[in-house]
Amino acid sequence: MATTRNDNSVLPSSYLPPINSERVSYTEKKSQAMASLSAQSLLCIALTVVICLIGGVDGSLEGGQREFDYFALSLQWPGTICHGTRHCCSSNACCRGANSPTEFTIHGLWPDYNDGTWPSCCAQVQFDVKEISTLLDALEKYWPSLYCGQSSTCYSGRGLFWAHEWEKHGTCSFPVFRDEYSYFLTTLNVYFKYNVTKILNEAGYVPSNSERYPLGGIVSAIENSFQATPEVVCSKDAVEEIRLCFYKDFKPRNCLASKTSCPKYVSFPAYVSFGRDESETDAAWTSEDEAL
């Protein structure tokens, strides 16, 4: 970046003015000028390295990815996803018996672009579960994994579901978030503030394995409460995810989806979970390392 130099600018310490400028030869002047330029170049390089290092620590974007435009809070419906459970494991919330989730849970908070694409894996910062140790109880309940097996991550191999969400999406949320704790805590707070399960239940849309509801009615119920249009994602005719979109200051905004994977009438499947005892007869119990 070009800078303007004035009479008060500070010269590099290596710059040495000639003792008698009138008697200095052309060669000496050239050598001094080159020394000055070299010192300035080294100073610029050093400053650039420092700035890059600071940016990496703070989670700034790497790999040429630009800053995101908005957030999408993706919520998943356990009834739809858990109906596909074929194997149980200790990490799968679908297998918690009476403690299995019965309301929308968090899939992730995703930084997105207005052109329909998104950044991913934006900083080489590995997930550290100790950073969110005080949030683990809430995360287990409201942001659980609904699958067996370990999730892929950007820099940590295979690991926790939260590691995947932080390394792939959370690291791209700079400059709004600069650390794990802030990312997960804020996501939980936004989830609590906009309780989609409560909004739909109060509008008469409740879990059922027989009822079908008009998609337009579901969208309208959320719009009336949220003051913005959500995105609804379906698996066949069952609601699988609902996404709420936000500006960077977390004021609601319309999601971009111009078309949906859902039919005109959709369902919210009710899922009766099997716990470990029952799963030993209904499905194979596997460890996390063995899970598919």
CB atoms within 10 A of CB 188: 18
**Element (DSSP H or E) covering residue 43:** helix 26-58
Which residue is listed with tokens 């052109």?
A: 115
Residue of 22, 83, 164, 165 marked active site:
165
Decide: helix, strand or coil at residue 265. strand
Q: Contact, 111 vs 71, CB < 8 A?
A: yes
Structure tokens at 156: 């940590």
Q: Is residue 107 among the annotated active site residues?
A: yes
Q: Is residue 83 among the annotated active site residues?
A: no
Of 76, 96, 72, which is closest to residue 197 (Cα–Cα)? 76
Between CA 285 and CA 199 the distance in angstroms is: 35
Structure tokens at 89: 């494991």
Decide: helix, strand or coil at residue 100. coil
CB atoms within 10 A of CB 172: 25
Residue of 62, 67, 83, 107 marked active site:
107
Residue of 169, 180, 231, 240 marked active site:
169
Decide: helix, strand or coil at residue 204. coil
Enter the DSSP assignment of 282.
Answer: H
Q: Is residue 164 among the annotated active site residues?
A: no
Q: Contact, 167 vs 121, CB < 8 A?
A: yes
Q: Catalytic residue numbers?
A: 107, 165, 169
